[in-house]
Amino acid sequence: QLRRDYYANTCPNVETIVRNVVTQKFQQTFVTVPATLRLFFHDCFVQGCDASVIIASTQNNQAEKDHPDNLSLAGDGFDTVIKAKAAVDAVPSCKNKVSCADILSMATRDVIALSGGPSYAVELGRLDGLSSTAASVDGKLPQPTFNLKQLTSLFAANGLTQIDMIALSAAHTVGFSHCSRFANRIYNFSAQNPVDPTLNKAYASQLQGMCPKNVDPSVAINMDPNTPRTFDNVYYKNLQQGIGLFTSDQVLFTDARSRPTVNAWASNSAAFQKAFIKAITKLGRVGVKTGSQGNIRSDCAAFN
């Protein structure tokens, strides 16, 4: 029931308003890109794309954003949505007409384009959800230690195919990770191999240099060491070289069932972009709320 022209009558300029805010925020900090993109993913996989992840905790409710899997969501993603919402609501005819879930979908489309990724038309018409609990996040988000089967089944639970999963994983072509998320691959990996043998040797020593054993837990490193600020298919070229940061990245090349797709997209950026657009459009349809299942929040971080 999502439509491209959902706001044509109520707020015809909404896409321009959001894009202007996102562009301004992007000029202030590149972190806007990965932060917004990951926020969209973590929203859609928990209770659907309904901005439940943006709700702040209160005395009576521990919200999704305070679940351990969401604590590393960067503040700039939340800030982008809050600022875009304020700009939309500053237009009298648009006030309280556009959902936070749709603003996050538009902002995600915009950050992908701003960082060199594909442009696409975004579907609209999501309502904002009426609940957000930390408990509801349990088991809903993929872990960096996941193997192909685990990744595929979690994405399948959201109506996404293995191909969609491989395409969406390319989001790791931008952004940062804290050292703890892959430390198991560079220290004490197994009895036979102190370092994960699927990791490129030079990259492994580089990672050990940036993430020494007792590193400050706030240290974060680029996930794509080659083009960290460009949304591109270098993600797949890296995997071919053993330069996938997480087990869940590298397994896409290590596992013979997904390797052909990685190889195809490493050598064909247009094919990757097409698959990515298809997959992120499907991601945006997950668990969409309509009618009495949701509403339009006046403050994205609080229920009305």
Please state the residue numbers annotated as binding site for substrate. Answer: 142
Q: Binding site for Ca(2+): residue ranges?
A: 43, 46, 48, 50, 52, 64, 173, 224, 227, 232
Pairing of strands 176-178, 220-222: antiparallel
Residue 81's nearest CA partner among 92, 66, 65 is 65
Give the footprint of ligand HEM on residues 50-89 (CB under 6 A).
72, 74
Cα–Cα dist 4/58, whole Å: 35
Instruction: Give the binding range for Ca ion (CB under 5 A) out of 27-35, 89-97, 144-152, 170-178.
Output: 170-178
Q: Strand pairing partners for 178?
A: 220
Per-residue CA distances from 127 to 16, 41, 238 (Å): 20, 17, 38
178 is catalytic: no
Instruction: Give the binding range for ligand HEM (CB under 6 A) out of 1-9, 33-41, 121-129, 197-205.
Output: 33-41
Token pair, residue 292, equals 């009495």
Q: Binding site: residue ranges?
A: 43, 46, 48, 50, 52, 64, 142, 172-173, 224, 227, 232
**Total Cβ atoms within 10 A of residue 56:** 14
The 8-class DSSP code of residue 295 comes to B
Q: What does 94 bind: Ca ion, ligand HEM, none (CB cut-off 5 to 8 Å by kind)? A: none
Does 104 interact with ligand HEM (rule: CB under 6 A)?
Answer: no
Does 19 interact with ligand HEM (rule: CB under 6 A)?
Answer: no
Does 80 interact with Ca ion (rule: CB under 5 A)?
Answer: no
Token pair, residue 274, equals 């097409």
Does 50 interact with Ca ion (rule: CB under 5 A)?
Answer: yes
List residues with catalytic annotation: 42
